[in-house]
Amino acid sequence: MTIKGKSILLGVSGGIAAYKAAAVCSKLAQAGAKVNVIMTESATKFLAPLTLQTLSRNRVVTDTFDEQDPAVVSHIDLADHADLVLIAPATANVIAKLAHGLADDMLSTTLLATTAPILVAPAMNVHMYAHPAVQANMDLLRRRGVRFLEPGEGQLACGYVGKGRLMEPEEIVAAVQAFFTPDRTLQGKRVLVTAGGTIERLDPVRYLTNDSSGKMGYALAEEARAMGAEVVLVSGPSALPVPAGVELVPVQSAEDMKTAVLDRLPALDLVIKAAAVADYRPEVTADQKIKKKDEVLTLRLVKNPDILQMVGERKQPGQLVIGFAAETENVAGYAMDKLVRKNCDLLVANDVSKDDAGFGTDTNIVTIFDKNGVVEELPVLAKQEVARRILKLAASRMSQPGGGTS
């Protein structure tokens, strides 16, 4: 698939790197995209709108109130027709406006009005880029699913050397191409994902469980399917909709989950254990509702099977196993211990004591380990994006000779 025929809204904001927007615009148009350009007032100080008008073969808009066509409201029209919004270069100011919902010019107003995916290519001075305010705004946007094209390091126009240089136009265009090219690297692979928390019954109306929402596991199942895999989702009770094309195997207890996973294991290429499995279950599950009697009720709990460990022991060459570890302290230490003990190929660890990570949130902050230590340390990202990164890594490991299994 190419970007031919795709409608790309290019937002250009006012930094010296605005001149590179001409190359981006030209390459997108040459590749067959329909490019509409919005420039901020300051961008026009660095680059003439006529340049981008000529390269895009479309009128360049800078003024919110410059309505040329009475039949439409131009910022809504541009917002509605975009398949993708690309901001290149994005200044600290435009990033801040988008993060905080300001709409005081044509670009920021259109950004609020669009429901299209947004790709942001920042460019600014090294200290501005590293400033906590800029980084916090970028974090906020990542949480909402905005994707960033990381600036490069090098000589900056301000004389400094460091991170802040706009990604090169060829790379920006390649990222746009990649956005429209579905990643099918799990085509033909059989993937099982476990998700949600298990519930361990005390009696017909009561149970022990945990706070897991299932969001991480459901995101993994959905993304694995999008990457072409045949996906089974073994899930504890969850309020989330089952992703299209994914086979749901609903389970309740850890014992149910163990059976569902082990029965399917021989046919699988990839197992991802994102479920929060209860470590213990009541020794006895009463057939009838437990009646209130004594002042104190003591529950005896017995250990549940460790499903991941059993998968790790049984895994065959060519099968890849990914575990999760939710920790509140000593994340790296516990993560490496679990990876080795449970014989996983990759272990995704998150510090659930952080605000944006763990149960119930739409975001996660994870570090991925393999037997040699840290493989990737990801910033706060939407769970869908975390899922994509994990699966890309899994796909690349599976394509290596030996399947990446340890």
Note whether 1 and 181 are within 8 A (CB).
yes
For position 337 contacting ligand CTP by CB under 6 A, the verdict is no
Note whether 34 and 5 are within 8 A (CB).
yes
**Residue 375, both tokens:** 């493989």
- Of 18-26, 153-161, 227-235, 317-325, the window that binds ligand CTP (rule: CB under 6 A) is 317-325
Minimum CB distance to ligand CTP smaller for 61 or for 339:
339
Question: Which candidate in 23, 113, 157, 158 is catalytic?
Answer: 158
For β-strands 363-364 and 381-382, DSSP reports them as antiparallel
Considering only residues 224 to 263 of the shown chain, the ones binding ligand CTP according to CB under 6 A are 254
Among 96, 277, 336, 352, binds ligand CTP (CB under 6 A): 277
**Residue 97, both tokens:** 């406006």
Among 153, 170, 211, 279, binds ligand CTP (CB under 6 A): 279
Among 323, 357, 366, 383, binds ligand CTP (CB under 6 A): 323
Minimum CB distance to ligand CTP smaller for 105 or for 223:
223
Cross-strand partners of 247: 232
Q: What is the CA radius of gyration of the chain?
A: 25
Note whether 351 and 327 are within 8 A (CB).
yes
For residues 59, 61, 67, 73, the Cα torsion angle rounded to the nearest 10 degrees is 100
CA 11/CA 94 separation, integer angstroms: 10
For position 27 contacting ligand CTP by CB under 6 A, the verdict is no
Minimum CB distance to ligand CTP smaller for 55 or for 216:
216
For position 306 contacting ligand CTP by CB under 6 A, the verdict is yes
Among 129, 148, 324, 369, binds ligand CTP (CB under 6 A): 324
For position 275 contacting ligand CTP by CB under 6 A, the verdict is yes
Count of CB atoms situated within 10 Å of the CB of 193: 31
Q: Which residue has the tokens 């086979």?
A: 247
**Chain-centroid distance, C-alpha 68:** 39
**Residue 130, both tokens:** 């590293």
- Of 143-151, 161-169, 181-189, 305-313, the window that binds ligand CTP (rule: CB under 6 A) is 305-313
Among 55, 224, 308, 346, binds ligand CTP (CB under 6 A): 308
Among 12, 33, 120, 326, binds ligand CTP (CB under 6 A): 326
Reduce the DSSP state of residue 359 to 3 states and report it. coil
Catalytic annotation present for 25: no
CA 252/CA 326 separation, integer angstroms: 20
Among 20, 142, 273, 388, binds ligand CTP (CB under 6 A): 273
Catalytic residue positions, numbered: 158
Footprint on this chain of ligand CTP (rule: CB under 6 A): 254, 273, 275, 277, 279, 304, 306-308, 323-326, 338
